[in-house]
Structure 1
Amino acid sequence: MPTAAKPTVLFIHGLWMHPSAWDPWAQAFAERGYGTMSPGWPGDGATVGESREHPENIAGHGIDEITEHYAKVIADLDAPPIVVGHSFGGLIAQKLLGRKLASAAIAIDPAQPKGVRKLPIVQLRSVLPVLSNPTNYRKAYSHTRDSFHKSFASAITKSESDALYERYVIPAPGQPLFEAALANFNPHSPAHVDFNTERGPLLMIGGGQDRTVPKASTDSSFKMYHKAPTVNEYKVFDDRGHSLTIDHGWREIADYSLAWLSRNTAGTQNGGGSLP
């Protein structure tokens, strides 16, 4: 009998990343037989340069709008895709999975959903430059090379961080950061995730040296699934920072993700997860 075609994998980037940051992942997944796509957020330019030249197009987009943007992409597909997201893309991946718009999801260093109450000091420091000015809610905020290395790429050398900055970094809307920060004070927060519904399997990945979404924050996010009746697994790479999807060690994360998908998307499986 012919082998069934593998599903499409939809990659979702996070704040400050251009969708081209997923190009190496897309190639690795395509080599394993997956269809791949990595459409950007609303307002992203076709290139890093174009995105930097027009931050006004990126500004003013929030979590709900970005989620609906990807829901419309999914609606044009023949079947629900596997969704792989990093940072705020990881939060959006969980939202799409909870809505049963994805067949499975991998959330890498995901931004915290509504319900996570304790945020590490190092995480608060990384977003303070944005949140300290309320006018940033409707603006696009840009990292400098130094701030990018200090928070996003803190586990790699400055020279590698600077190279990644030139290759992938773009301005990001401030609105999602405000929405996540105020999530527990908003009964209708766009950072809400349906944790416990019947849906496809979820893999959450954290970086032990992450300063943007520290391990403690990812631990708390995963604990929100403790009553979920479906497959939920959590893997921490102890020596990795927030740049783990784009730096020199990206292939280790991609290969782990591919192996997990091979184990968990061949058929319907049930069961809870546990912290490592």
Structure 2
Amino acid sequence: MSGTSSPLPGLELVTESPADAASTPPVLFVHGAYVGAWCWAEHFLPALADRGYAAHAVSLRGHGGSDGSLASAGIDDFVADVRTAVERLDRPPVLVGHSMGGVVVQRYLQRYDAPAAALLAAIPPQGMAGLTVEFALRDPTTWIQFGLLQTVGPGPTSPRVMRRALFSADLPDARVEAYARRVQQESPRALAELTGPAVTGRVPSDLPTLVLGADADAIVPSWAVEATARAFDTDATFVPDVAHAMMLDTGWERVASTLAEWLDGIDPAS
């Protein structure tokens, strides 16, 4: 198994390759707001490669190691980035989107085919206006901190507040602090688009789809996960004792195992 960062023109694609993935579809991970492909590289890419899947994570434009400006980037631009990454792979991948990346995947599926998709703590089709209001009323201090992150960058971002929003209480302080140093500003246009209906029109409800929530999620609560599941005509699955940043939080192994078991059940002929 080897980890590489592929030199796509201007677009970072991080890959973990198993010894033999001939019988399994590749998997492409799409990150959420304020992060990049690095959030998948620590745990999920090697975990999926150990299960026999070629695992890839793309950094959307302006994120991680990818080129491009965030000033004018919208959700459809991120969809185009995912399309670019898909076209660089040998076979069509199963798409896995987290949070904002879940919206990117939902819009992608309205335009392009995929063998299957998994939506992890995804913002629901109706957008995040209701989520934002609920979050701001429940934890105004954390909400203000995210506003500071967006306006002046990660410098003043408090690891303690980041923990309240994204991680469980038992995640070691050193890891929370390390992740807090890596977060970045997000596209104002993309965030604005997410405040209204994020996905309009029908999504492919006949597509094999896993809708996965974290039951300790402070940002995307259970009702929002269930709304996404209804759009795809499926049931939501929840992983207990995991917070929003489910690929980095304590308990990430259970999330990765749930995803891998679902992948194992996909009919290769689909």
Residues 197-235 of structure 1: CA distance to partner in whole angstroms, max 9, x if unpaired?
54x311011111211111221122222233xxxxx3421
Q: Report whether the alignment pairs 1:191 with 2:199.
A: yes
* 2:38 paired with 1:20: yes
Q: Is the 8 A contact 1:130 1:141 kept in 2?
A: no
Q: CA deviation at 1:170?
A: 2.5
Give the direction of change, closer, same or farther, for the CA distance of 1:6–1:144 in structure 2 (3 Å limit).
same
Q: Does 1:108 align with 2:120?
A: yes
**Aligned mates of 1:3, 1:21 — CA distance in 2:** 23
RMSD: 3.2
CA 1:4–1:118 in 2, change beyond 3 Å: closer, same or farther?
Answer: same
Give every structure 1 segment of 4 or more consecutive aligned residues whose post-TM-superposition deviation is greater than 6 Å: 130-133
The answer as to whether partners of 1:105 and 1:202 remain within 8 angstroms in 2 is: yes
Aligned residues: 243
Identical counterparts, % of pairs: 24
Q: Residues 193 and 180 of structure 1: is their aligned pair in 2 closer, same or farther, counting only changes over 3 Å?
A: farther
Give the aligned residue type for 1:16. Answer: Y
Matched with 1:71 is 83
**Residue 237, structure 1, aligned to residue 251, structure 2:** no
- 1:35 aligns with one of 45, 54, 59: 54
Shift of 1:195: 2.1
Q: 2: CA distance between counterparts of 1:140 and 1:9?
A: 34
Counterparts in 2 of 1:129 and 1:67: CA distance versus 1, 3 Å: farther
- Give the corresponding residue for 1:94: 106
In structure 1, how many angstroms separate the alpha carbons of the residues matched to 2:117 and 2:152? 28
Secondary structure in 1 matching 2:58:
coil
**SS state at 2:95 partner:** strand
Stretch moving more, 5-14 or 73-82: 73-82
Aligned CA distance change for structure 1 residues 248 and 153 (closer, same or farther; 3 Å): closer
Residue 188 (structure 2) aligns with? 174
Conserved 8 A contact 1:114-1:193: no
- State which of 204, 208, 216 in structure 1 corresponds to 2:223: 216
- 2 CA distance for matches of 1:22 and 1:149? 18
Amino acid at match of 1:152: L
Residue 265 of structure 2 aligns to a residue whose secondary structure is helix
Q: 1:217 to 1:130 in 2, by over 3 A?
A: farther
Q: CA deviation at 1:85?
A: 1.4
SS in 2 for 1:38: strand
**1:191: how far off?**
3.3
Question: What is the TM-score of this pair, normalised by structure 1?
Answer: 0.74
Report deviation, 1:179: 0.7
Q: State the SS of the aligned residue for 1:103.
A: coil
Instruction: Measure the CA separation in 1 of the matches of 2:152 and 2:32.
Output: 14
Of 171, 177, 180, the match for 1:162: 177
2:217–2:243 Cα contact (<8 Å) kept = yes
- Structure 2 partner of 1:252: 254
- Cα distance change of structure 1 residues 59 and 99 upon mapping to structure 2, 3 Å threshold: same
1:32 maps to a residue whose letter is R
Matches of 1:105 and 1:207, distance apart in 2: 17
Structure 1 residue ranges without an equivalent (≥5)? 184-189, 227-231, 269-276
1:172 partner SS: coil
